Amino acid sequence: MKPFTRFFIGLLSLFLFISHGSSAEPLYWKAQKEGKELLILGSVHVGDKSMYPLPSAIIDYLKQSDGLIVEADIRQAENLQYPKAEYTSEQVLSPLLKKKLVEASQSLNLNPQSLFMSPPWASALTLQMKQFESMGYQTQYGIDSFLIEQATQSNIPVLGLESLQFQIDLLTKLPNDGEDLLISGLEEWDEAVNTTHCMITSWKKGDGQNLAALGVSSEISPELSERFVYSRNHDWVEQLNSEHFIADKSKHLLVVGSLHTVGEQNLLTLLKDKGFKVTQLSNSSKADCSF
């Protein structure tokens, strides 16, 4: 599968929570600097009921913390802006890929004409999310949604590292409205299910090496890696290290997509560079698959 496609699957879902056993669990770490403490959980943004309960260490920490930090607070979805696209999906696809889009959309009970008229990034996202749903995974069972709900019920503050508008802009401002995103996804559509299954196994086992292979590849364009991962990691670390975002003496549960905790310029390495002591607390093992 093309690295671009693997990267997109990882970015959207890396991310797919399933149940964990006593011998292996999702990756999480403790980061400490003087009086500031973070429990960092590598997450997925969609999942199913089998992902629960989460490790007790995560829930217990949240209850005793000063707040929950997430990539973006999904409750703040008002007044989002979607700029007018220059291209439709139909305009950027070859005849062969148009046929592939029709086949993929019909297999997922989607209207292909609606996708043809949508911006490429939107069609790519719609197809990917519907494919996840066809495999039994939904956003309502994502770890972010669950922990935000838990924090809200317990009157625990929720902080977003960035806005939902920022995340939308990441997609809408891709070259040619995300042409490469859609083309790559369609070209490798038949392999996406196996990639997702391996991703799930890797997340379940806490296999950081495998997750890094999925999300960060030397063949991925530097521009894409910089846009979606590196620059965001650097920005987040600056915020986490600042007393203006969270107090110097505080405890927070930090939940970010697993893609941001592995590979080059990952969040953990950057925190260490800022003087944080980072310790893995989870039990991990090697997944029996590869990308």
pLDDT digits (tens, 9 = 90+) for 95-108: 999 999 999 999 99
Instruction: State the pLDDT at residue 52.
Output: 81
Q: 235 phi and psi, to 5 degrees?
A: -65, -45
Q: Which residue has the higher pLDDT, 284 or 112?
A: 112
Confidence category of residue 88, pLDDT binned at 50, 70, 90: very high
C-alpha span between 260 and 229 (Å, rounded)? 6
Name the nearest CA neighbour of 6 among 137, 134, 273, 194: 194
pLDDT at residue 22, rounded to an integer: 40
Q: What angle do CA 276, 156, 143 make, to 5 degrees?
A: 75
- pLDDT per residue as tens digits for the range 225-241: 888 899 999 999 999 99
What pLDDT is recorded for position 41?
A: 95
User: How confident is the model over 169-206, as pLDDT tens digits?
Assistant: 999 999 999 998 899 899 989 888 888 778 777 877 88
In one-letter notation, the amino acid at residue 141 is Y
What share of the chain in percent tops pLDDT 90? 60
3-state secondary structure labels for all residues of 104-140: HHHHCCCCHHHHHCCCHHHHHHHHHHHHHHHCCCEHH
Q: What is the pLDDT of residue 9?
A: 55
CB atoms within 10 A of CB 233: 23
* Domain residue limits, the chain: 3-280
Q: What pLDDT score does 18 carry?
A: 32
Residue 12 confidence (pLDDT) above 60: no
Is pLDDT of 278 > 90?
yes
- Please check the confidence at residue 69 and state whether its pLDDT lies above 90: yes
pLDDT of residue 20: 35
Average pLDDT over residues 143-158: 95
